[in-house]
Chain A
Amino acid sequence: MSPPVITHVEQTPAVTSLRSKDLLGIADMAPDEISLILDTAEAMKEIGSRPIKKVPALRGKTVVNLFYEPSTRTRTSFEIAEKRLSADTLSIAIASSSVVKGETLADTALNLEAMQPDMIVLRHPSSGACHLLSRICRSAIINAGDGMHEHPTQALLDAFTIRERKKRLAGLKVAIVGDLLHSRVLRSNIHLLTKMGAEVWVCGPPTLIPTDVTRFGVRATSHVDEAVADADVIMLLRIQLERMEGAFFPSLREYFNIFGMTEARLRGAKPDVMIMHPGPMNRGVEIASEVADGPYSVILDQVANGVAVRMAVLYLLAGGVEHETAA
């Protein structure tokens, strides 16, 4: 498939604010909202290159980061984004194991609400946890990853990173390889990339491909060379070691032999292919170190862009352009 002629459609957003009070997932978003976030993130990225990396956009706003799962990258990224926008922030880490004995998610959220935060950033092991909060909370809920459902800011930062290099999303072939079944990154990326006109291929062992995945509007294969052929972008997903116990595949060695992204496999892709990974990486399982550290890898760019994209999301949900004109 040759790339379409029109390539910059997503850069002329028709909207100046987001339609929902929350960011629960990409599934509910319109393409113009996605473009708005990506465009806003470009301005936010510039702030990060200044000697004084702080603007007053969220001054007086309170943001609570509520994390029920361990997270280094996402939590740090949100915290830095909040601080650069001058929000008052606090982060609460709750070990998932102690929740069983403790209060319910709904009660925790209502108690936080009583203290009048403006936004709650939630990471939770249960799919739909953000929807639950959104139904009972006045605060804006930002999904920082819920179970196997969505991780919208990851998909947005991935799109930002792709757009930065390729200047477009429409018409690109993106191959996503790895544990598709358990991946919230996959679901958010499929929604985002298909909405923006990319051609998405997903690849993994049949045991790790979600039911009816082609109804998501993607092509699915278990032949990695087919997925990688002429790809503009290859996105690798983490293989969790405990999946062996679930008999999803026999061994990490066998997984690597069949699906691991090696320099040899990359040769089937476009010469300017981008290699992406949401982290944390298992070197020698889903990705060979030479590829992770090689010239095609944009893995650290993704991390850098995460801050800008999260600043954009926070800023827009806090009122965005309207907020600024009102102030």
Chain B
Amino acid sequence: MKRLLKGGRVVDPANGIDGVHDVLLDDDRIAGIGRDLPVDGAAVVEIPQGFVVCPGFIDMHVHLREPGQEHKETVASGAAAAVAGGFTAVACMPNTTPVNDDANVTAYILARAAEAGLARVYPIGAVSRGSKGELLADIAELKQAGCVAITDDGRPVATALLLRRAMEYAGMFGIPVIEHCEDPSLKGEGVAHEGYHAAVLGLRGMPGACEALGVERGILLSELTGSHFHVAHMSARASLRAVRKGREAGVRVTCEVTPHHFTLTDESLASPIPYDTNVKMNPPLREAADRDAMLAGIADGSVDAIASDHAPHHYDEKKVEFDRAPFGIVGLETAVSLSLDRLVHAGIIRLPRLVELLSVNPARILGVAGGSLSVGAPADLTILAPDLHVRIDASRLRSRSKNTPFDGWQLRGGVAATIVGGRPVFINPDAGLSV
């Protein structure tokens, strides 16, 4: 069927478009874009004034927990959270049980995603078997089965030698190596950013240098191998400095930042809830200078993507002593509102840049479809209500887990609808859009 999205502000940076346009969808493809397109039998969707039509957002760093940890999340519940958060596609990390180091696991994840029929799911394979850092996983088979990148996320690739080999080998397939950058010896038993607040609360710290060492290692090896190196969930100002220098030297390095790292600081360890395990994540919330550096990197183009690092954990696992709680928070359903509120409305960036961070660049980095509204491209769209008043309610999240530090937050800007392959898979009843 044909659908005509009429009268919204269309922001499609890949095609240099930012203005009021109509977008015509023909089944699962974009069929046209322009002013006052003829209806010609299409179902008309009136886009209210002020709403924004963008190429579908892609969250390139999520944990869907299936197979093996279905009490935290499933592919289906994670995909439901994704579309409710405005994401038409997600790339899921391989640290499941078993690890996605095998084409059968990849196929299983894709089958569950197809059953769910919501967001597109791009599995990311492991660098090493079991992510144990010893032997390479069957990377060609993973790629053939549908993996779009490799990583041992949750931990860094164990040795420089193995990371080098992975880069060389993955280079053959043109897929990036995504790295959880961290020097394990410097991290030690750290559970929070090493700074004043961790010192007061008596929490073992891990300094920003711990991450930056991993970033520097990856950049040097990317330079050596010529392969594409992507820095996951960057949080430290020293890491950003390394990325900028690497890029100046011509190294193929890209990076992503999470909404919690551009919004919160380590002050959240102490207040409003001291020792709240929902502010425990790795990398940790860092000090204000790091948070401000991330904002600056987002503003000046040094940061390529915003990714949520959606890390669901059951409340039983989080309702423990701080140092015993697992790292991570959910993020799929809060990322877009935080981005609109903290970046766009705060005047850090304009909307076209946000679309680059959430759509254009993730598609480019992973080499997947999407990221533009070009004619013939998949009809994956995110429709934003940039001025919608949003109140985050953890109990209403679609994710199976509710571990968010943003419960009760009031934010300006939200998702009105999410369209995947021409099908509206999410319509926000609060936004007042009828599709």
Which chain A residues have a beta carbon within 8 Å of chain B's beta carbons?
27, 104-106, 124, 126-129, 131-132, 135, 146-150, 184, 187, 210-213, 215-216
* A126-B323 in contact given A146-B202, A147-B202 (Cβ < 8 Å): yes
Task: Tell me how far the C-beta of B143 lies from the nearest C-beta in chain A, rounded to whole angstroms.
Answer: 39
State whether A126 touches B321 (Cβ < 8 A).
Answer: yes
**Chain A residues closer than 8 Å to B275, beta-carbon distance:** 127-128, 131-132
> What separation, in Å, do the CA atoms of A66 and B201 have in the docked complex?
21
State whether B196 touches A149 (Cβ < 8 A).
Answer: no
> What separation, in Å, do the CA atoms of A267 and B204 have in the docked complex?
36
**Chain A residues closer than 8 Å to B321, beta-carbon distance:** 105, 124, 126, 128-129, 132
* A128-B274 in contact given A211-B194, A211-B205 (Cβ < 8 Å): yes
> What separation, in Å, do the CA atoms of A184 and B195 have in the docked complex?
17
Task: Tell me how far the C-beta of B206 lies from the nearest C-beta in chain A, rounded to whole angstroms.
Answer: 11
Q: List 26 A-B contacts (CB under 8 A).
A: A27-B200, A104-B316, A104-B319, A105-B320, A105-B321, A127-B202, A127-B275, A127-B323, A128-B201, A128-B203, A128-B275, A129-B321, A131-B275, A132-B320, A132-B321, A132-B322, A146-B202, A147-B202, A147-B203, A148-B202, A184-B202, A211-B195, A211-B199, A213-B199, A215-B196, A216-B199
Which B272-310 residues have a C-beta within 8 angstroms of A? 273-275
Chain B window 297-337, contacts with chain A (Cβ cutoff 8 Å), 1 for yes, 0 for no = 00000000000000000001001111110000000000000
> What separation, in Å, do the CA atoms of A124 and B324 have in the docked complex?
12
> What separation, in Å, do the CA atoms of A129 and B274 have in the docked complex?
10
State whether A127 touches B201 (Cβ < 8 A).
Answer: yes
> What separation, in Å, do the CA atoms of A124 and B321 have in the docked complex?
10
> What separation, in Å, do the CA atoms of A212 and B196 have in the docked complex?
5
**Chain B residues closer than 8 Å to A146, beta-carbon distance:** 202
**Chain A residues closer than 8 Å to B99, beta-carbon distance:** none
For the complex, would chain A's binding face be called helix, strand, loop or mixed by DSSP majority? mixed
Q: Which of A105, A131, A211, A213 contacts B274 (CB 8 A)?
A: A131
**Chain A residues closer than 8 Å to B195, beta-carbon distance:** 211-212
**Chain B residues closer than 8 Å to A105, beta-carbon distance:** 320-321
Interface size class of B (residues with CB under 8 A): 20 to 34
Q: Closest chain A residue to B194 by CB distance?
A: A211
> What separation, in Å, do the CA atoms of A105 and B316 have in the docked complex?
11
**Chain A residues closer than 8 Å to B205, beta-carbon distance:** 211
**Chain A residues closer than 8 Å to B199, beta-carbon distance:** 210-213, 216
> What separation, in Å, do the CA atoms of A126 and B201 have in the docked complex?
10
State whether B200 touches A216 (Cβ < 8 A).
Answer: yes
- Asked whether any CB of chain A lies closer than 8 Å to the CB of B54, the reply is no
State whether A127 touches B322 (Cβ < 8 A).
Answer: yes
State whether A147 touches B274 (Cβ < 8 A).
Answer: no
> What separation, in Å, do the CA atoms of A129 and B204 have in the docked complex?
14
> What separation, in Å, do the CA atoms of A215 and B195 have in the docked complex?
11
State whether A126 touches B324 (Cβ < 8 A).
Answer: yes
Q: Which of B200, B204, B274 contacts A187 (CB 8 A)?
A: B200
- Asked whether any CB of chain A lies closer than 8 Å to the CB of B198, the reply is yes
> What separation, in Å, do the CA atoms of A104 and B314 have in the docked complex?
14
> What separation, in Å, do the CA atoms of A118 and B201 have in the docked complex?
26
**Chain B residues closer than 8 Å to A131, beta-carbon distance:** 274-275
**Chain B residues closer than 8 Å to A148, beta-carbon distance:** 202-204
Task: Tell me how far the C-beta of B286 lies from the nearest C-beta in chain A, rounded to whole angstroms.
Answer: 12
Q: Which of B198, B200, B316, B322 contacts A126 (CB 8 A)?
A: B322
**Chain B residues closer than 8 Å to A132, beta-carbon distance:** 275, 320-322
Task: Tell me how far the C-beta of A242 lies from the nearest C-beta in chain B, rounded to whole angstroms.
Answer: 13
Q: Closest chain A residue to B196 by CB distance?
A: A212
**Chain B residues closer than 8 Å to A124, beta-carbon distance:** 321
**Chain B residues closer than 8 Å to A210, beta-carbon distance:** 199
**Chain B residues closer than 8 Å to A127, beta-carbon distance:** 201-203, 275, 322-323
**Chain B residues closer than 8 Å to A106, beta-carbon distance:** 319-320
State whether A147 touches B198 (Cβ < 8 A).
Answer: no
> What separation, in Å, do the CA atoms of A126 and B273 have in the docked complex?
16
> What separation, in Å, do the CA atoms of A236 and B198 have in the docked complex?
23
State whether B194 touches A149 (Cβ < 8 A).
Answer: no
**Chain B residues closer than 8 Å to A216, beta-carbon distance:** 199-200
Further pairs besides A132-B275, A211-B194: 10, Cβ < 8 Å: A106-B319, A126-B321, A127-B202, A128-B202, A132-B321, A132-B322, A147-B203, A187-B202, A213-B199, A215-B196
Task: Tell me how far the C-beta of B322 lies from the nearest C-beta in chain A, rounded to whole angstroms.
Answer: 5
**Chain A residues closer than 8 Å to B200, beta-carbon distance:** 27, 187, 216
